[in-house]
Structure 1
Amino acid sequence: MSYLSVSTWSLHRLLGPLRWTVWNPETRLHEVKEQDQPQLLSLLELPVEAARRGYQAVEICHFHFPSTSDAYLHELRERFAAAQISLDTILADYGDLTNGDEGRRKADTAFLREWIDIAAKCGAKRIRIIAGEAAPSDEAALRLSAQLLRELGEYGERPGVQVVTENFKSLLSTGANCLKVMEQTAGQVAMITDFGNYRGPLKYEEIAATTPYSKSVHVKPHYDENGRPDEAELRQCLNSVQASGYNGAFVLIYDGPGNMWDGLERVRKIVEPYLEAGGVGGA
């Protein structure tokens, strides 16, 4: 059954500082660069607020975690359980599995294993791992990415965290490459299909082709200067999902101007008929 979810990226102007992970080529270590943002809602308060607003699930970007201590992760898990809302996915927003620097690639892979462990501790069902930043024409990089994704998928099996990737960054910017990775990972890894990350004349066909492999779809519309979604274009994306027979999470994405909850509501009004029809609907 299809259901409504929200990404913390859609609320990033409310949730406090963004803690970006970066690679320092001089020290050859990962660092965290903090970007100041207002905090009107804490991550611990989010589960009950999202549930109150009618969401059934949340996806959390890794840079929104103020702490990864065992105590904090346990409390976050308890907050989701108490609110009766699912923590579907941690979105690891750093890591390049196809980087030409082998040392960095190994460090990034180790970093992602650590986040698989973090996902398990806070009760997330899945973790999104970026396939890589190599050119989409690089077949060797595609094979390397599939191999490392498969290994990370196997690592995640022990704590019960499923690895998913996404049509995000250059390597998986085409539907054809997404399908190749799905084939090469042989069912070990699943997808997230993001409406906004396919571009070009094949966009709607690519959405329809990769949605059957997807655990969630990121409903990311085009917006005008007032934060109003392009409804006709969004419906084309949703109709491509409908054609695939998808039943899963519709994750609302908003990064336009104004109040972020209000922006999400404008998207929600367009999406809800599809949910009410169990993934087959929308006029």
Structure 2
Amino acid sequence: MKISICSFSFHRMLAAGQQDIFQYIQDCKQLGCTQLDPWNAHLAQLNDGADALHAGANPGQSQHLKAVDDEFLARVKLAADEAGLPFGCIAVDGAHIYEASEEARTSNRQRAYRWIAIAEQLGATSVRIDAGGPQQWSEEVFGIIVEGYKDVIEHARNAGIQVLVENHWGPTVLPDNTIRLLEAVPGLGLLLDSWNWAHGKQAEGWLKCAKYAAATHIKSFHFTEDGQELTQNVPAFCKLMLENGFQGTWGVESVPADGNEIEGARKTIQLIRQSVQ
């Protein structure tokens, strides 16, 4: 069983100076992960904790997440190798495809290229790059997003990296938009988040998009004393994924209401393991 923790699960620890990318690697090893799925804030030059908190709350306004240099990345790769954990998906904020102006789109594209290069240096298999744009897109906006992804995918293919879109924010919180985009862009994969759907669209998102998933983010917020998640039916989500032939990594993206991020990740992993036996 392949399991990972998106490091956004530890964004409050990162902001408080209680975890960095090296501690993240050790925490993932201790929690039984088989790969590393860092959020790019863990690989960014942060001025202070507020940078991470702002990025976490505003993924469409995260261009301030400037990547660390190659020397630092070499240290990160060495630490991961020593822990025996390969890199899987780097979740990139601040490099989304659509912006209203061509200048802003070009700037984001350069950031996307840089994060693809980082993924290659770390030996990661994929990068999550958002579509961006309004929830209800026009044909013009859709066309710009399609062409943008085709360019990014071609760039990533040369590095052996797969590009994933996530139902995260903007147009992809609507299941039909996500499917239309996936079917319009050859080679684009889906990072399926169990939670990030527009209001009233979660069940539709699960049922329509499960078959497209290359990877998952399984959300958790509140747990019962016996380890069940109160906000959504995680066992049902896992069962649906298995029924659709999912063979990818079971990714945790826990956001514990009590603030205990290590325990939130631990409990989510336990629940996933129980659900896929």
Shorter-chain TM-score tier: 0.7 to 0.9
**Residues 43-75 of structure 1: per-residue CA shift (max 9 Å, x gap):** 123223311221112211111224521111111
Instruction: Give the partner amino acid of 1:273.
Output: Q
Identity in percent: 18
RMSD between superposed Cα atoms in Å: 2.3
Which residue is equivalent to 1:28?
none
Q: CA deviation at 1:105?
A: 1.1
Distance 1:225-1:136 versus aligned 2 partners, 3 A rule: farther
Judge conservation of contact 1:254–1:260 (CA < 8 Å) in 2: yes
**2:143 — aligned with what?**
143
Q: Shift of the alpha carbon at 1:245?
A: 1.7
2:36 corresponds, among 25, 49, 58, to: 58
Asked whether 1:45 is paired with 2:46, we answer: no
Deviation at 1:129, TM superposition (A): 0.3
Amino acid at match of 1:61: W
Q: Unaligned regions of 5+ residues in structure 2, if any?
A: 46-67
User: Is the contact made by 2:97 and 2:129 (CA closer than 8 Å) also made in structure 1?
Assistant: no
Q: Which amino acid aligns with 1:45?
A: Q
Please report how far the alpha carbon of residue 133 of structure 1 lies from its aligned counterpart in structure 2 after TM superposition. 2.2
Amino acid at match of 2:194: F
Which one-letter code corresponds to 1:259 in the other structure?
N
- 1:146 shift after superposition: 1.6
Who is 1:264 aligned against? 265
Cα deviation digits, residues 141-174 of structure 1 (max 9, x gap): 2222121111101001112221111111111111
AA of the residue aligned to 2:156 = G
One-letter amino acid of the counterpart of residue 16, structure 2: P
- Aligned pairs for 1:1-283 within 5 A: 2-15=1-14, 37-67=15-45, 68-186=68-186, 188-223=187-222, 229-230=229-230, 233-256=233-256, 257-275=258-276, 277=277
Q: Per-residue displacement from partner, 1:182-217 (whole Å, max 9, x unpaired)?
A: 11112x211100011124444233223323322211
Q: 1:223 to 1:49 in 2, by over 3 A?
A: closer
Bigger strand share = 1
Residue 124 of structure 1 aligns to a residue whose secondary structure is coil
Q: CA deviation at 1:77?
A: 1.2
1:10, distance to aligned residue in structure 2 (A) = 0.7
Cα distance change on mapping 1:96 and 1:3 into 2, 3 Å: closer
Compute the displacement of 1:231 (Å). 6.7
How far, CA to CA, are the matches of 2:28 and 2:135 in structure 1? 37
The one-letter code of the counterpart of 1:191 is L
Contact 2:20 2:42 in 1 (8 A): no
Judging changes above 3 Å, is the alpha-carbon distance between structure 1 residues 171 and 66 closer, same or farther for their aligned structure 2 residues? closer
* Corresponding residue pairs, total: 253
Give 1:268 shift.
Answer: 2.1
Partner of 2:142, secondary structure, is: helix
Pick which of 100-109 and 47-56 moved more: 47-56
**Distance apart, 1:224 and its partner CA:** 7.0
Q: Secondary structure at the match of 1:58?
A: coil
Higher helix content, 1 or 2: 2
Identify unmatched segments of 5+ residues in structure 1.
16-36, 278-283
AA partner of residue 22 (structure 2): L
Query: Deviations for 1:204-252, whole angstroms, at most 9, x for unmatched residues?
Result: 3322332332221100135379997317622332233233121111111
Contact 2:189 2:213 in 1 (8 A): yes
